[in-house]
Amino acid sequence: MGQQYIEKIRFVNRFDVLEKLLIQVKEFKTILIEDTPFPADHYYNIESYLNKAVVEGTFLTEEEFHQLRLLLQTFGNICKYFEQRNDRYTQLASLFGSIQFNQSLSKHIEKILDEKGLMRTNASPELAKISSAINEKEKDVRRRLNSIYEKANKDGWLADSGITVRDGRLVLPVLAEHKRKISGLVHDESSTGQTVYIEPTDVFETNNIIREYQIAYKREREKILIELTNKTRPDLPILSLYLQRMGLIDFIRAKALLAIDLDAQMPILHKQAQAKWVDAYHPLLKLNHQKVGLSVVTLSAQLTKEKRILVISGPNAGGKSVCLKTIGLLQYMLQCGFLVPCKSHSEIGIFSDMLVDIGDEQSIENDLSTYSSHLLHMKYFTEFADAKTLFLIDEFGTGTDPQFGGPLAESILNRLNQKNAFGVVTTHYSNLKNFAANAHGLENACMLFDNSKMQPLYVLEIGKPGSSYAFEIAQKTGLSTQIIDYAKLKVGDKQKRVDDLLIELEKEKAHVHELKKRFTEKEEKSKQLIDDYTKLKTELDTNRKKLLTEARQEALAIITEANSRIENTIREIREKKADTETIRKVRSEIKVEVENIKHKNKTEAPKPQPVPFNVANIGPIEVGAHVQIVGQTNIGEIVELTKNKALIAFGDLRSWVDMTKLQTVQAPKKEEKRKGTKGVDLNSKLQHFQTELNIIGTRGEDAMRQVQEFIDDAYLLGFKEVRIVHGQGYGILRKLVKEFLQRSPFVESFKHEHIEMGGDGVSLVTLKT
């Protein structure tokens, strides 16, 4: 159905039109690859039917109306498909969005034709009546014929086959030798003449009636089709539009299917003339290689304002012409609205026209040689090329004496360069290679050749000219070495040195390319290692922070537990005024308990589970509120708050606790509060304890209370040596301190400090262990 559009393919040089065509194909390619199946059935080309229906008095047949109905059904499905995907396929949806689908015609056809495209017997009352009459008469004829058939068959007059039809009438197959025994009309005979088909006289009249009904049936059927065609005629313009859109979508679908086969993409499109092909390949090579399981060597080339013309040189059969044809064909395909086989990040501009000189167009009729036909093309190129032209010239300058063909080709190329045209040419001429190397706007390129295997690689390399490898290829083909050596002698030394230098340059370039490849691989590997290291370091830092947080939480829990136990111990010591042995025993128990706690921390290291804020509270968490640590029974009072923590006083024990671990409770009863013990924040005392006590100027009773608490705390905290500064004065405080130290069960010995450190104004106390 879309075949008509293939014949209408045109080279497009308007950016907006071309972009629209390419996006349409790209969208349909997406549908075929990613989306649900597109309605692709019943694409009938009914243009001839519509043209016939234009004439008054004509009518479409049942089959033609059946195809029209199926086509309308498909068109409706297409409209619905794009209506549901309008945002995803904007260009394709726009082809159908502005068209109002008319369902009334489909309904008219469905009333007349059944699903198989046959006219319904009740298409009209008259048709139903005639159809019923025919059925009745045919039953009557068949009944009579069955009676005649049974008798004749019994008598052996009939052939093996039963009642049959000839010329639309029911007949009997009678053996030729018995045809006179049955009265009737002979309608036909078998190819052998052994069987004749007779319509018995008894059913002849009834068959005539049936025939009349059949003629009436046909007349009524045509009348119905004429009426249906008349109803269709006003809709012919919209039907033509439906047909046009379905043909177009069929054509776009075909282009999308080709794009999938070629793995073609839509490159980045530019309004200005330019070309940057990345990993492009010839479509025919792709299709042919796919059939035999071979891969295609891709090419990458670029034409810019600075380097508009590419001069490709290299060995024979090395792929120069294929490169030129690939660039030309892909540019033409693209500007005809086809996706092209290259990478999607290729960047292609729009040329106003393309000028191509490929192949041999010699003509005996026009008295043109090969070279003359090329010169006519060059005349046209130089006259009409401009800054928006892309020209392609294969084997530039050949066909005449190289001594004259080379300079003339260079002059033509220079003229095209002056006109700022873009182009690709292939050549073996050294003067064109030199011209490309020195002229602004031109660039050399070559087809690579494997010097070790003496075979082409079909790889295009930009930036340097290539050698023809004529002698090397001749040697590989088995040509006599004497012939090759003689030819080398005929080549000038200067030309030979140039060719040898080109070969050496290609070898060196290949070596540099290999080194660059290895360096790139190592660089990528190093980058990967750095990325892995950075990722690992980040993970380690995260884990370290997490472990530190958990450790702090565990340490807080351990300290809280230790403080609780030590608090009870200190309370017992002070209430019972224990003797030295009891104190030593208790201190030993504390050490054992501390070791147990340390061991527990090392082996079990339990991770505290955070308690959410939604623990049942009886009031807000604020200063003065009574709280419990979740999971414990001790009740404390909040004395200070920060953003996330609270300082809790459990008697004299104070500790910072995460607020997520607290729940407010009722204040303890007064009698319970009196029974509550005064404790000590061991962690706080250890952090703030000073090993020197200064009681100068303090009254005797207060001084002794301070000394007692100082010695008690120093002993419990495990300090070996402390200093008490009491001064010399009248010696009262010194005497009281001396008497206390002599009585204290915690003191091992004591003495006055050295004269430089305070002399007898300071007592240096050594505590028991």
**Interval 457-479: pLDDT, tens:** 889 999 888 877 777 777 778 88
Of 669, 665, 617, 660, which is closest to residue 637 (Cα–Cα)? 665
At residue 673, the pLDDT reads 40
At residue 349, the pLDDT reads 96
Q: Among 128-137, 311-320, 630-639, 744-753, where is mean pLDDT lowest?
A: 630-639
pLDDT tens readout for residues 146-163:
888 888 888 888 887 788
Token code pair at residue 511:
């070596």
- CATH assignment of the domain containing 730: 3.30.1370.110
Q: How confident is the model at residue 244 (pLDDT cuts 50, 70, 90)?
A: very high
Q: Among 18-27, 66-75, 602-611, 612-621, where is mean pLDDT lowest?
A: 602-611
Examine the fold and report which residue of 626, 653, 680 is the final residue of a domain before the chain moves on: 680
Mapping DSSP onto H, E and C, the string for 471-509 reads: HHHHHHCCCCHHHHHHHHHHCCHHHHHHHHHHHHHHHHH
Q: Are residues 385 and 484 in the same domain?
A: yes
At residue 614, the pLDDT reads 40
- Name the phi and psi angles at 764, rounded to 5: -95, 115
CB 663 within 8 A of CB 630: yes
Burial 360-389 (b: 16+ CB within 10 A, else e): eeeeeeeeeeebbbbbebbeebbeebeebb
Flag whether pLDDT at 671 surpasses 70: no
Q: Are residues 284 and 242 in the same domain?
A: no
Of 28, 14, 22, which is closest to residue 266 (Cα–Cα)? 22
Distances (CA, A) of 351 to 328, 394, 443: 11, 19, 20
Dist CA 166 CA 227 (whole Å) = 32
307 within some domain? yes
- For residues 689-696, average pLDDT: 86
Dist CA 641 CA 623 (whole Å) = 7
Cβ neighbours, 10 Å, residue 664: 17
DSSP bridge partners of 169: 166
Round the average pLDDT of the chain to a whole number and report it: 83
Q: How confident is the model at residue 10 (pLDDT cuts 50, 70, 90)?
A: very high
At residue 586, the pLDDT reads 61
Examine the fold and report which residue of 467, 491, 515 is the final residue of a domain before the chain moves on: 491
708 within some domain? yes
User: 493: buried, middle or exposed (CB in 10 Å: 19+, 13-18, 0-12)?
Assistant: exposed
Q: Computed from CA positions of residues 546, 548, 553, 554, in that sequence, does the dihedral angle turn out positive or negative?
A: positive
**CB proximity list for 758: less than 8 A, separation 6 or greater:** 725
At residue 132, the pLDDT reads 93
630-639 long-range contacts (CB < 8 A, ≥24 apart) are 630/661, 630/662, 630/663, 634/564, 635/665, 635/667, 635/668
**CB proximity list for 732: less than 8 A, separation 6 or greater:** 700
Q: Are residues 373 and 439 in the same domain?
A: yes
Domain that holds residue 693: 689-767
DSSP string for residues in 234-254: GGHHHHHHHHHHHHHHHHHHH
CB 261 within 8 A of CB 287: yes
625 within some domain? yes
Dist CA 71 CA 247 (whole Å) = 11
- For residues 547-566, average pLDDT: 71
User: 447: buried, middle or exposed (CB in 10 Å: 19+, 13-18, 0-12)?
Assistant: buried
Q: Are residues 619 and 756 in the same domain?
A: no
Q: Are residues 248 and 276 in the same domain?
A: no
At residue 691, the pLDDT reads 86
Flag whether pLDDT at 480 surpasses 60: yes
Dist CA 722 CA 702 (whole Å) = 19
Dist CA 698 CA 299 (whole Å) = 100
Q: What's the distance, CA 315 to chain centroid?
A: 41
At residue 674, the pLDDT reads 38
Token code pair at residue 672:
């319970």
Name the DSSP letter for residue 196. Answer: E
- CATH assignment of the domain containing 622: 2.30.30
Q: How confident is the model at residue 571 (pLDDT cuts 50, 70, 90)?
A: low
Examine the fold and report which residue of 243, 262, 281 is the final residue of a domain before the chain moves on: 262
Q: Roughly what angle, to the nearest 10 degrees, separates helices 236-262 and 90-97?
A: 170
At residue 497, the pLDDT reads 56
Q: Among 398-407, 447-456, 487-496, where is mean pLDDT lowest?
A: 487-496
Q: How confident is the model at residue 55 (pLDDT cuts 50, 70, 90)?
A: very high
359 within some domain? yes
141 within some domain? no
Q: Are residues 11 and 83 in the same domain?
A: yes
Q: What's the distance, CA 459 to chain centroid?
A: 30
Q: Are residues 374 and 288 in the same domain?
A: yes
- Report CA dihedral (567, 570, 575, 581) to the nearest 10 degrees: 150
Token code pair at residue 251:
């054509």
Q: Among 29-43, 435-449, 541-555, 692-706, where is mean pLDDT lowest?
A: 541-555
Dist CA 551 CA 608 (whole Å) = 10
507 within some domain? no
At residue 611, the pLDDT reads 38
Q: Are residues 291 and 432 in the same domain?
A: yes
At residue 576, the pLDDT reads 61
Order of strands, sheet of 721-725, starting from the edge strand that comes earlier in the sequence: 692-694, 721-725, 762-767, 747-752
What's the Rg (C-alpha) of the chain?
Answer: 54
User: 315: buried, middle or exposed (CB in 10 Å: 19+, 13-18, 0-12)?
Assistant: buried
547 within some domain? no
Q: Are residues 243 and 294 in the same domain?
A: no
Dist CA 312 CA 324 (whole Å) = 8
Dist CA 66 CA 119 (whole Å) = 10
How much is the pTM?
0.61
Token code pair at residue 462:
């930009």
φ/ψ bin of 582: left (φ > 0), alpha (ψ from -120 to 50), beta (otherwise)? alpha
Instruction: Indicate the helix (H) or strand (E) that contains 218.
Output: helix 201-232
Flag whether pLDDT at 367 surpasses 60: no
Q: Are residues 756 and 665 in the same domain?
A: no
Q: Are residues 100 and 237 in the same domain?
A: yes
At residue 519, the pLDDT reads 85
DSSP string for residues in 137-149: HHHHHHHHHHHHH
Of 388, 397, 326, 321, which is closest to residue 354 (Cα–Cα)? 388
Q: How confident is the model at residue 504 (pLDDT cuts 50, 70, 90)?
A: low
Token code pair at residue 410:
């260079």
At residue 499, the pLDDT reads 61
Flag whether pLDDT at 256 surpasses 90: yes
At residue 339, the pLDDT reads 98
Q: Domains in the chain: how many in total?
A: 4
Q: How confident is the model at residue 34 (pLDDT cuts 50, 70, 90)?
A: very high
Distances (CA, A) of 21 to 12, 97, 251: 10, 17, 11
Q: Which residue has the higher pLDDT, 670 or 3?
A: 3
160 within some domain? no
Q: Are residues 661 and 752 in the same domain?
A: no
Dist CA 471 CA 502 (whole Å) = 14
- For residues 442-452, average pLDDT: 87
CB 245 within 8 A of CB 99: yes
At residue 612, the pLDDT reads 41
Distances (CA, A) of 157 to 154, 164, 172, 717: 8, 15, 10, 138
